[in-house]
């Protein structure tokens, strides 16, 4: 699948990753388009989460990791020696499987990254916090208790709070690693609706084990199996007319 360079946010070329001597990803090449949702699907242990964590170099935090190949964010090599990894992680925000709010107030959770960057004047903090909470479809539910602890929110609210925290610093890419797998169906629906709204502003990559969710929320889908990229295409093609037999077997439920 060919995309014009102007439409590409993340360009992955011959990416391989090993933990010690154990390969986890093998020669992954794919182009993730701007302001679209790309789903990463595949059986447990196929490398989905490992791949998504390559995009903001979270795997750097693990001992004995070896990475080869190239990842470009808006045409810049994220492994270049001049790249500030902290700045990269502000540009490529991440939300994990289980909500992880800080043991601080709702307001302070969202303001946390803004305070670290020191690029937002104190006079603008309140308006930026409000903007982020509104963007995460949470403002109306928490506006009267911003000083309350975030730990008092429901699981679904906590996950939307974590998304608000991630987008408050205005990244260009948002990574979601199974963001709804620990949530009830109503909270899951709210997260999916939020993803549809956020893709107008952000490039989104989502890891999901839920085939129906991938079909609902994504524009493009990548199928991984045993650390290899088997197929990458628009979501409709992946689910209705895949080119690879392994893809068809997986999306039809024959294995996985």
Tens-digit pLDDT profile for residues 179-214:
999 899 999 999 999 999 999 999 999 999 999 999
On whether the CB atoms of residues 51 and 71 are closer than 8 A, the answer is no
Q: Which two tokens stand for residue 242?
A: 């895949």
Q: Strand 220-225 to strand 37-41: parallel, antiparallel, or no bridges (unpaired)?
A: parallel
How does residue 226 score in pLDDT terms, banded at 50, 70 and 90? very high
Q: Which two tokens stand for residue 86?
A: 């902290």
How does residue 121 score in pLDDT terms, banded at 50, 70 and 90? confident
What b/e readout covers 41-54, taking b as 16+ CB neighbours within 10 angstroms?
bbeeebbbbbbbbb
On whether the CB atoms of residues 240 and 225 are closer than 8 A, the answer is no
Percentage of the chain modeled with pLDDT above 70: 96
Q: Which two tokens stand for residue 146?
A: 């911003």
The pTM for the full model equals 0.93
DSSP-assigned letters across all residues of the chain: ----GGGEEEEEEEEEEEETTEEEEEEEEEEEETTSEEEEE-STTSSHHHHHHHTTTGGGGSTTEEEEEEEEETTEETTSTT--HHHHHHHEEEE-SS----SSBHHHHHHHHHHHHT-S-HHHHHHHHHHHHHHTT-HHHHTT-TTSBGGGS-HHHHHHHHHHHHHHT--SEEEEESTTTTS-HHHHHHHHHHHHHHTTTSEEEEE-S-HHHHHHH-SEEEEEETTEEEEEEEHHHHHHS-SSHHHHHHHTTS--
Lowest mean pLDDT among 91-100, 117-126, 143-152, 244-253: 117-126
Q: Which two tokens stand for residue 143?
A: 């506006």
Out of 5-9, 111-115, 139-143, 181-185, give the one with best mean pLDDT: 139-143
Q: Regarding predicted confidence, which is higher, 155 or 122?
A: 155
Q: Which two tokens stand for residue 138?
A: 């949470």
Q: Which two tokens stand for residue 108?
A: 């302070």
Q: 66: how many CB neighbours lie within 10 A of its CB?
A: 13
On whether the CB atoms of residues 156 and 183 are closer than 8 A, the answer is yes
Tens-digit pLDDT profile for residues 67-115:
999 999 988 999 999 999 989 999 999 999 889 999 999 999 999 988 8
On whether the CB atoms of residues 160 and 194 are closer than 8 A, the answer is yes
Rounded distance between C-alpha atoms, residue 179 and residue 39, angstroms: 12
How does residue 256 score in pLDDT terms, banded at 50, 70 and 90? low
């Amino acid at each position: 699948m060919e995309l014009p360079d102007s439409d590409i946010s993340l360009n992955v070329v011959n990416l391989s990753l090993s933990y010690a001597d154990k390969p986890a990803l093998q020669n992954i090449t794919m182009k993730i388009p701007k302001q679209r949702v790309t789903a990463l699907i595949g059986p447990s242990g196929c490398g989905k989460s490992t791949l998504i964590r390559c995009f903001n170099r979270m795997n750097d935090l693990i001992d004995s990791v070896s990475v080869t190949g190239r990842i470009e964010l808006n045409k810049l090599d994220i492994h270049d020696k001049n790249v500030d990894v902290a700045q990269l992680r502000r540009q490529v925000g991440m939300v994990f499987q289980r909500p992880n709010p800080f043991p601080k107030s709702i307001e302070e959770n969202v303001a946390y990254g803004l305070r670290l960057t020191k690029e937002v004047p104190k006079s603008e903090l309140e308006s930026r916090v409000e903007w982020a909470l509104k963007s995460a479809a949470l403002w109306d539910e928490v506006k009267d208790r911003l000083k309350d602890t975030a730990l008092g929110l429901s699981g679904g609210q906590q996950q939307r709070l974590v998304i608000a925290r991630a987008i408050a610093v205005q990244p260009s890419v948002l990574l979601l690693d199974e963001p709804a797998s620990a949530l009830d169906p109503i909270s899951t629906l709210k997260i999916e609706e939020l993803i549809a709204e956020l893709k107008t502003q952000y490039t989104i990559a989502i890891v999901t084990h839920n085939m129906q969710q991938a079909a609902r929320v994504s524009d493009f889908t990548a199928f991984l199996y045993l650390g290899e990229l088997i197929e990458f295409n628009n979501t409709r093609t992946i689910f209705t007319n895949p080119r690879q037999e392994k893809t068809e077997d997986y999306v039809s439920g024959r294995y996985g």
